[in-house]
Amino acid sequence: MSRSKLLFAIIAFFITFGQVSAETANDPTGIWLTQAGDAKIRVNHCGASLCGTIVWLKAPIDPATGKPQVDDKNANPSLAKRPIVGLNIFNRMKSVADNKWSGTIYNADNGKSYSSDVIVAGRRKLEVRGCVMSILCGGETWTKIGEV
């Protein structure tokens, strides 16, 4: 192989590898550990939206009942008995930029939903932010621990 062909092949490899890395870096899909380490969320594409499904809890059993945790903080009685594991916490989470999705997020700790942004902040970091009335905001960083 001539030097120019070898050089071209090396450049093509790095361009292709760089594109794959960039695509992966902006992909929110995977299994994410919450900042507190108390839950794992599977993020995947659901049509044009993102879904965020609780797949693991550090404390899956409710100490008060001895049974699996349920959504007992939910104000809607018909939803208050659904299991926490398997619950989709993202609602209408749509892409608004290359690495950002906006919609609502459900907080099973208090049974409320909040306006939310999900931002890929690196290959293994996901920033999850929620706001009440667009004034009082908070967030946390989730760490990617697996692929979907």
Q: Is the pTM of this model over 0.75?
A: yes
Mean pLDDT of the chain: 86
Nearest to 43 by CA among 53, 34, 33, 35: 53
Task: Give the start-end residues of each E strand in the chain.
Answer: 30-33, 39-46, 49-57, 90-97, 100-107, 112-122, 125-132, 136-146
pLDDT at position 147 is 84
| Cα separation, 61 vs 72, whole angstroms | 13
- The SS3 of residue 27 is coil
pLDDT at position 25 is 61
Cβ contact 148:31 at 8 Å: yes
pLDDT in tens, 30-61: 999 999 999 999 999 999 999 999 999 999 99
Which helix or strand (DSSP H or E) is residue 15 part of?
helix 3-25
| Cα separation, 104 vs 84, whole angstroms | 17
pLDDT at position 26 is 81
More confident residue, 132 or 9: 132
Cβ contact 18:10 at 8 Å: no
pLDDT in tens, 110-131: 999 999 999 999 999 999 999 9
The percent of residues in the chain predicted with pLDDT above 70, rounded, is 82
Q: Which two tokens stand for residue 136?
A: 């009082």
Which helix or strand (DSSP H or E) is residue 61 part of?
none
pLDDT at position 81 is 96
